[in-house]
Amino acid sequence: MNKMILVFAAALAISCGDNKKEEKNELKIGAPVEEAAPAQTTDDKVAEVTITGNDQMKYDKSEIRVKAGQKVKLTLKHVGTMDKTVMGHNWALLTQDADMAAVGQAAASAADNDYIPADMADKIIVHTKMLGGGESDTIEFDAPAPGTYTFMCTFPGHYALMHGKFIVE
Ligand SMILES: [Cu+2]
């Protein structure tokens, strides 16, 4: 009689152990798929852009493309050595209805405000600081509505050479 009970108890223990193993395996298979999904959308949300300006009064880019809905993280680097009072550079993004020459001319008399004309503030979506050689500035902003915009340097006379297209797709 005692032997019969022992065998029965052993059989119960083995079958319980098997059930637990199966449950654990099912959980492991399901989990990694859900964790992987959000990482990709984070990359698509931020457009990182770097543009340089030099002592020859030039940007290294004439066109920048981003996607609608992205956050733009833009860095302007002045890769020259000249002082900002003689070869200052900034990066200003204009509204679609802005006249670049009109903003440039108004900026020339706004030395006391880093060459950002207060009376044209509604034509400038966003801008960096005015930089001298060796300096850099990073700004973050939401990409405006899809379309083609103009970017420029507002230092007096620079917009003739320092401008380009900012395209939101
Ligand atoms: Cu400039």
Distance 141 CA to ligand 1 centre (A): 21
Tell me the whole-structure pTM to 2 decimals: 0.75
First-to-final CA distance of the chain: 83
CA–CA gap between residue 4 and residue 6 (Å, rounded): 6
pLDDT at position 1 is 44
Q: What is the homologous superfamily of the domain 37-168 according to CATH?
A: Cupredoxins -  blue copper proteins (2.60.40.420)
pLDDT at position 43, please?
61
CA–centroid distance, residue 151 to ligand 1 (Å)? 12
CA of 88 to the centre of ligand 1 (A): 5
Burial (CB count within 10 angstroms: exposed 0-12, middle 13-18, buried 19+), residue 97? exposed
Tens digits of residue pLDDT in 25-66? 444 444 444 444 443 344 689 999 999 999 999 999 999 999
Residue 162 has a pLDDT of 98
* Structure confidence at residue 44 (pLDDT): 85
CA of 53 to the centre of ligand 1 (A): 7
Residues with pLDDT less than 70, the chain: 1-43
The pLDDT of residue 87: 98
pLDDT of residue 128: 98
Q: How far is the CA of 102 from the centre of ligand 1 (A)?
A: 16
pLDDT at position 142: 98
